[in-house]
């Protein structure tokens, strides 16, 4: 049982042999005189969903083992490979051959910075696909901060879903690397978060729609956690909504947009309609209180928030046009989106991280949150504004 928690788990090890005998002696499996032994390890918990922990792990394990016993190992292995390859074989990439191809991977990685080895990039890309295939199958939970295969009961950061970049970054490759089906756990999680997020939006901000702060977990928590300088960040739902829209753009699945994507996007946008306030100095609509993830404390009007919200509003506007619905809502967003504080260029020629020109040239932090508008967003691009793109490069 998880310490002080509601989850209980059980693992079972079952042996099957050709010839020979199996005995349990002092809690050990003792196999004698066998030509071949196959070990089946199954594990389960009482988790059913975020609101239900009534599952029976013993029954789950026995059911799983019952479906395996009697099947030759080679058949099980072949079945596993076939299932895995239904995902893996949907994409190929070839950057040519390399003289380092036959080196062990660790040596090849060490030489990568000083040798021409584009083929290693292709291998690395496929390795990333392998990791997600192994961590985000339809019907399971989405890939979390440390991965489902880490060896710790208490992994770093609780192995939660950190939604100010990490969670989303796990899923950046899904559409472009033809792993769209692996979004199913992500989309199911977003739907669950929208339910609890409505309660948080109402209780914390007296707002409509749903909100998600910088972290969530198996239980779909959406309220601020940890210190205020990073916990009070309201744009997690807006960022996750980008994945719903991009899924439609890549697949042109109008039914998905109508029944799943747009309703969740709309509810996220409804929150920001209530949350945004007019800045008394500039007259712009700004996000406050909030922060620029990993950089500084609570502020009024972080650039990243405005990029996410502006993109969400534009996506909702376009989606409502495609579906031919919600004209009044669309017009409301069209009025507000042009009032959101724009991206600004500061005294160093940089894209400002905040509403005020407070960037520090000595700040070398790995998070450059205000570049969200360049990627994964498209609020800033060469076609629309070369000057702003150069400012982003400066940042």
Per the structure block, which two tokens stand in for 183? 């979004």
pLDDT at 296 over 80: no
> 16, 39, 71: which is the final residue of a domain?
71
Give the residue, 159 or 263, on which the prediction is more confident.
263
Instruction: Report if residue 267 sits inside a domain.
Output: yes
Instruction: Report if residue 132 sits inside a domain.
Output: no
Mean pLDDT is lowest, of 35-39, 55-59, 223-227, 388-392, for: 223-227
What is the bridge-based pairing of β-strands 295-299 and 21-25?
Answer: unpaired
SS3 191: helix
Mean pLDDT is lowest, of 65-74, 143-152, 352-361, 378-387, for: 143-152
CA distance 354 to 344: 9
Instruction: Report if residue 116 sits inside a domain.
Output: no
Instruction: Report if residue 127 sits inside a domain.
Output: no
Q: How confident is the model at residue 1 (pLDDT cuts 50, 70, 90)?
A: low
C-alpha of 153 from chain center? 21
Give the residue, 362 or 190, on which the prediction is more confident.
190
> 49, 71, 93: which is the final residue of a domain?
71
Does residue 51 sit in the same domain as residue 190? no
Give just the sign of the alpha carbon dihedral 222, 224, 226, 232: positive
Does residue 366 sit in the same domain as residue 259? yes
- Bin 301: left if φ > 0, else alpha if -120 < ψ < 50, else beta: left
Instruction: Report if residue 135 sits inside a domain.
Output: no
Does residue 188 sit in the same domain as residue 48? no
Instruction: Report if residue 298 sits inside a domain.
Output: yes
Does residue 187 sit in the same domain as residue 316? yes
The most confident of the ranges 3-12, 64-73, 224-233, 335-344 is 335-344
pLDDT at 265 over 80: yes
Does residue 258 sit in the same domain as residue 382? yes
Residues of the chain with pLDDT > 90, as a percent, come to 88
Q: How many folded domains does the chain comprise? A: 2
> 11, 43, 71: which is the final residue of a domain?
71
pLDDT at 285 over 70: yes
Does residue 242 sit in the same domain as residue 381? yes
pLDDT at 376 over 80: yes
CATH number of the domain encompassing residue 241: 1.50.10.10
Instruction: Report if residue 108 sits inside a domain.
Output: no
369, containing H or E segment? none
Kindly give, in sequence order, each residue whose CB lies less than 8 Å from that of residue 5, ignoring residues fewer than 6 positions away. Answer: none
In sequence order, what E strands does the chain have? 9-18, 21-25, 28-32, 36-45, 161-162, 215-216, 277-278, 285-286, 290-292, 295-299
Instruction: Report if residue 316 sits inside a domain.
Output: yes
Q: Which domain holds residue 363?
A: 170-394
Per-residue pLDDT averaged across 349-359, rounded?
94
- Tell me, what's the pLDDT at 2? 65
- Tell me, what's the pLDDT at 229? 81
Which of 146, 166, 148 has the alpha carbon at shortest distance from 156? 146
- Tell me, what's the pLDDT at 228? 84
């Amino acid at each position: 049982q998880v310490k002080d928690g509601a989850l209980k788990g059980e693992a079972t090890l079952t042996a099957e042999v050709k010839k020979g005998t199996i005995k349990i002696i002092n809690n050990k499996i003792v196999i004698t005189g066998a030509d071949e032994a196959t070990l089946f390890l199954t594990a389960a918990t009482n988790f059913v969903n975020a609101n239900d922990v009534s599952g029976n792990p013993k029954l789950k394990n026995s059911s799983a083992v019952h479906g395996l016993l009697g099947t030759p190992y080679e058949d099980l292995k072949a079945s596993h490979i076939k299932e895995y390859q239904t995902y893996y074989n949907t994409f190929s990439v070839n950057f040519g051959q390399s003289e380092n191809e036959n080196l062990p991977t660790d040596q090849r990685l060490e030489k990568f910075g000083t040798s021409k080895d584009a083929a290693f990039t292709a291998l690395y890309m496929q390795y990333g696909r392998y990791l997600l295939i192994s961590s985000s199958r339809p019907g399971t939970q989405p890939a979390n901060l440390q991965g489902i295969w880490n060896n710790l009961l208490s992994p770093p950061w609780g192995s939660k879903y950190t939604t100010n970049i990490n969670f989303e970054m796990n899923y950046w490759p899904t559409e472009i690397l033809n792993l769209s089906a692996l979004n199913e756990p992500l989309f199911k999680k977003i739907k669950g978060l929208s339910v609890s997020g409505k309660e948080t939006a109402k209780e914390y901000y007296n707002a409509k729609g749903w909100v998600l702060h910088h972290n969530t977990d198996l239980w779909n928590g959406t309220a601020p956690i940890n210190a205020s300088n990073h916990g009070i960040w309201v744009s997690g739902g807006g960022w996750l909504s980008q994945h719903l829209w991009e899924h439609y753009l890549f697949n042109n699945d109008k039914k998905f947009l109508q029944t799943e994507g747009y309703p969740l996007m709309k509810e996220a946008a409804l929150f920001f309609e209530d949350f945004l306030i007019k800045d008394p100095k500039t007259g712009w609509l700004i996000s406050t209180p909030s922060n620029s993830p990993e950089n500084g404390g609570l502020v009024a009007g972080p650039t990243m928030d405005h990029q996410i919200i502006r993109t969400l509003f534009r996506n909702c506007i376009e989606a409502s046009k495609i579906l031919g619905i919600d004209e009044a809502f669309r017009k409301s967003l069209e009025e507000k989106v042009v009032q959101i504080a724009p991206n600004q260029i500061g005294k160093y020629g940089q894209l400002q991280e905040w509403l005020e020109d407070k960037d520090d040239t000595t700040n070398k932090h790995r998070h450059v949150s205000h570049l969200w508008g360049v990627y994964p967003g498209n609020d800033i691009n060469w076609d629309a504004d070369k000057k702003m793109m150069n400012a982003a490069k400066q940042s």
